[in-house]
Amino acid sequence: MIIIKTDKEIEKMRRAGQRLARLLDELLPKIVKEGTSAEEIELYVLKYVDEVGGIPTFKGYAEYPYATNISVNEEVVHGFPLKEKIFKYGDLVSVDCGITLDGYVADSARTYIVGEVNEEERKLVEATKESLLIGAKQAIIGNRIGDIGHAVQEYIEGQGFSVIRDFVGHGVGRKLHEDPQVPNYGKIGKGPKIRKNMTLAIEPMVAMGDWQVKILDDGWTTITRDGSKAAHFEYTVAVTENGPEVLTSLEYNSL
CA distances from 79 to 7, 39, 68, 116, 144 (A): 34, 11, 8, 22, 31
Was 179 annotated as part of a binding site?
no
Strand partners of residue 120: none
Was 177 annotated as part of a binding site?
yes
Was 170 annotated as part of a binding site?
yes
Q: How far apart are CA 6 and CA 13, in angstroms?
A: 11
Was 217 annotated as part of a binding site?
no
Was 234 annotated as part of a binding site?
yes
Was 150 annotated as part of a binding site?
no
Q: How far apart are CA 79 and CA 96, in angstroms?
A: 9
Question: Angle, nearest 10°, between helix axes 145-158 and 119-136?
Answer: 160
Was 78 annotated as part of a binding site?
yes
Binding residues: 78, 96, 107, 170, 177, 203, 234
Binding residues for a divalent metal cation: 96, 107, 170, 203, 234
Binding residues for substrate: 78, 177
